Every structure is written in structure tokens, then in C-alpha cells.
Chains A and B, each alone.
Chain A
């Protein structure tokens, strides 16, 4: 059965810290892995990764995929209180549907 597991489930840090969020997966006919940020409302798209070893970067956020070991990490450097959110990892197989992990709740304290 396809599944996505994220760790840790929750994390509390202080502003300025660097955090690493983990996502491991098992999926039939892997096509891509996506990261979303969910604050109070809709999940918003962060990254889509399809190839191993190629880092995607957006400001203080970066992510990389390892298709051999079946995992991805999301790094946030110099965290700010505005980074507080649930970070969702999802994997797409060839059916078009996204399988989501249970999310990591990040709280950044001032």
C-alpha cells in the first residue's frame, strides 16, 4: 500500500534556528514528491521534486529528493515566526492522486 511518513510530527524552535523536516515514502510508480505549507487555510505549494540529488531552493527554504533511499528533506534556515505552519509532504504515483503524509507542525517562537 502506498504511504508517506513524515517526521518529526511536531517541532518547536526559536527564531533564527535551522530546521530539517523529513519525508519518507513507498509508492508504486513514483512520479514526483511535493511539499506544501499549510497555515490557517489551504495548503500552498512550495516545491515539486522529480529527480534525485537536485536541490530546489526558494529563499530560506530548500528541498532535495533521494529516490534510491525513498526520502526527501525540507530545510528552513534562519526561521521566522511566519514559518510557523504545518508542512505537508505528498507523493504522486502514476494515477494522478497525491498521497499525503500526516504533516509536521512547526512552531517558531520569537
Chain B
């Protein structure tokens, strides 16, 4: 009965590599999000998609590229990984773009060495 799922849960990789994180929600929601939580536990939004369309794009390096093949999926691809990209990345979804209540996935802990 997983509502928002992410894979992988843990990702350890070297600087310069390219990696992807996948997210899927089975709630029938229209809107999905990617957040980054740093070592101080501060959660910050990166991107938001509504029905496969990008609606929020915060100041994020263009090495980060989200892709939404359909409204139930939002993947995050990161090129040329840097040490500072190490964080926990959370996917979330909400009923639609007006709904404030967001449901979070379990997170992907990315460690760049």
C-alpha cells in the first residue's frame, strides 16, 4: 500500500558520475515535487510538476533535470555529481497544484565521495 515510493533508498557514488532517482505515486495525484534535505535537516523545494508539466523550478544547478513521463512518475537525473550534492532527496505529491497537503516518499540518501 505504498503511497509515494522512491528508488533507490541509498545511493553512494563518486564525483563526476551521473545518477537517477525514481519516484512513483499511486494516490492519483496530479502534482509531484522534489525536495532536498541537507545535513541540517532543512527541506527545500527543487521542482514541481503538475500533470507532467513543470510548474516550479527553484534555483537549482542545471545538472539536475527532472522528467515526468506521466503524472504518476517524477524522476530526477543528476549529471556530474559533486560533493555538495550529498543529501537526502524526497519526492512528494499532492492532489493538485492548489492543495497544500503533500505526501512524502521515504527519501533517497545520496552520498557523493
Q: Does B90 lie within 8 Å of A42, measured CB to CB?
A: yes
Asked, given contacts A42-B107, A88-B43, A103-B42, whether A98 binds B100 with beta carbons under 8 Å apart, the answer is yes
Chain B residues lying within 8 Å of A29, measured Cβ to Cβ, are: none
Chain B residues lying within 8 Å of A41, measured Cβ to Cβ, are: 106-107
Q: How far does the alpha carbon of A92 sit from the alpha carbon of B97 in the complex, in Å?
A: 11
Q: Does B102 lie within 8 Å of A98, measured CB to CB?
A: yes
Q: Which of A42, A90, A105 has the most CB of B within 10 A?
A: A42
Interchain pairs with CB closer than 8 A, number:
56
Identify whether the interface residues of A are mostly helix, strand, loop, or mixed: strand
Q: Does A43 lie within 8 Å of B90, measured CB to CB?
A: yes
Distance in angstroms from B71 CB to nearest chain A CB is 15
Q: Does B104 lie within 8 Å of A42, measured CB to CB?
A: yes
Residue numbers of A with Cβ under 8 A of B are 31-32, 34, 36, 38, 41-45, 48, 86, 88, 90, 92, 95-100, 102-103, 105
**Shortest 7 CB-CB contacts between residues of A and residues of B:** A92-B100, A42-B104, A32-B100, A100-B43, A96-B97, A41-B106, A97-B45
